[in-house]
């Protein structure tokens, strides 16, 4: 074996050991965080800005606070748009209307997040996210799935839209599995 090949082999061995150690590591036993930090770095903030000084989509969040799940529809071509828009991406008109979406659906696909949460959310694991096929609608929407252990999550389970209030007062939505 050449010196170069030996070095490469040593590196490969080291990497194999590291991977083996990582795959057998026990689950983290760190206590749950008491909540996200006051401010996340902007790129790690998963939730969009909501104030009317920042976005023209404020009606979505205001409706959500009142328990209504809405989006926009193009008045010209009738296209249902998700996420809500201020301009139709098909015909480019700004003539959109707010319409209600179904509040229930079924899990179409899901994934459990066991590690690698964003900064400040390390204590909020494991969590389940998924695509939900909304009842009577062509839309499949992504969101967090609440009320289910990831080991028990199944495709086809019924869910309901649930408005959630973030620690800083903003509103967003998640899907709660209906029992
Ligand atoms: Zn349009």
Output the CA 162–ligand 1 centroid distance in Å.
29
Output the CA 92–ligand 1 centroid distance in Å.
6
Output the CA 73–ligand 1 centroid distance in Å.
8
Output the CA 102–ligand 1 centroid distance in Å.
21
Output the CA 145–ligand 1 centroid distance in Å.
31
Output the CA 85–ligand 1 centroid distance in Å.
11
CA 14 from chain center: how many Å? 36
The pLDDT tens digits for 112-145 are: 999 998 777 888 899 999 999 999 999 999 999 9
pLDDT per residue, tens digit, the chain (179 aa), is 455 556 556 655 655 555 554 444 444 444 444 554 456 555 556 666 788 888 899 999 999 999 999 999 999 999 999 999 999 999 999 999 999 999 999 999 999 999 998 777 888 899 999 999 999 999 999 999 999 999 999 999 999 999 999 877 889 999 999 99
Output the CA 94–ligand 1 centroid distance in Å.
8
pLDDT on residue 25: 43
Output the CA 81–ligand 1 centroid distance in Å.
9
CATH H-level superfamily of 102-179: Nucleic acid-binding proteins (2.40.50.140)
- Residue 141 φ/ψ, nearest 5 degrees: -110, 145
In the chain, CATH 2.40.50.140 covers 102-179
Between β-strands 80-81 and 70-74, what pairing exists: parallel, antiparallel or unpaired? antiparallel
Q: Output the pTM of the full model.
A: 0.73
pLDDT on residue 30: 46
Output the CA 139–ligand 1 centroid distance in Å.
17
Output the CA 84–ligand 1 centroid distance in Å.
13
Give, as residue ranges, everything with CB less than 5 Å from ion ligand 1. 74, 76-77, 88, 90-91
């Amino acid at each position: 074996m050449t010196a170069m090949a030996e070095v490469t082999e040593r590196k490969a061995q080291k990497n194999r050991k590291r991977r083996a150690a990582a795959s057998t590591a026990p689950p983290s036993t760190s206590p749950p965080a008491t909540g996200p930090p006051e401010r996340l770095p902007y790129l790690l903030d998963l939730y969009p800005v909501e104030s009317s000084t920042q976005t023209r989509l404020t009606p979505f969040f205001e409706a959500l606070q009142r328990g209504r799940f809405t989006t926009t529809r193009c008045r010209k071509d009738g296209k249902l748009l998700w996420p809500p828009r201020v301009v139709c991406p098909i015909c480019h008109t700004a003539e959109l209307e707010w319409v209600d979406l179904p509040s229930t659906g079924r899990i179409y696909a899901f994934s459990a997040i066991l590690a690698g949460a964003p900064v400040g959310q390390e204590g909020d694991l494991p969590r389940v996210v998924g695509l939900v096929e909304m009842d009577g609608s062509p839309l499949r929407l992504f969101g967090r799935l609440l009320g289910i252990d990831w080991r028990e999550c199944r495709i086809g389970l019924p869910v309901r839209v649930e408005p959630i209030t973030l620690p800083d007062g903003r509103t967003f939505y998640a899907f709660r599995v209906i029992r």
